[in-house]
Amino acid sequence: MTASSAVPVRLSEEMLQRLDEAAQTLGFDSRSDLMKLAIKSFVEHVERHGGAWLPPDWQDMLADMDGRASRYEKTPRRKRDK
């Protein structure tokens, strides 16, 4: 598979450091290799299962990150067992 053009993503310095540390721990050459693996596995999971269930506090997490959680409100949610 050939790579396409770069996709710009803005990340905090803290997140970049965490990515670098995780990539190094896993033996990847770069943070982009780790990001590609994470994105690929997430997309494959969505394709295979028809959705993904993020942590229970994902809306709060997104709001804390960038304040745009409202655009994710239509994301399918896992039905909880009663």
Is residue 65 domain-resident?
Answer: yes
Q: Which residue has the tokens 């780790």?
A: 34
Interatomic CA distance for residues 1 and 5, integer angstroms: 13
Interatomic CA distance for residues 20 and 34, integer angstroms: 9
Q: What is the pLDDT of residues 26-82, one digit of tens each?
A: 999 999 999 999 889 889 988 998 887 776 676 676 667 665 545 555 555 555 554
Interatomic CA distance for residues 31 and 20, integer angstroms: 5
Is residue 6 domain-resident?
Answer: no
Is residue 40 domain-resident?
Answer: yes
Interatomic CA distance for residues 40 and 24, integer angstroms: 19
Count of domains observed in the chain: 1
Q: What is the pTM of this model?
A: 0.60
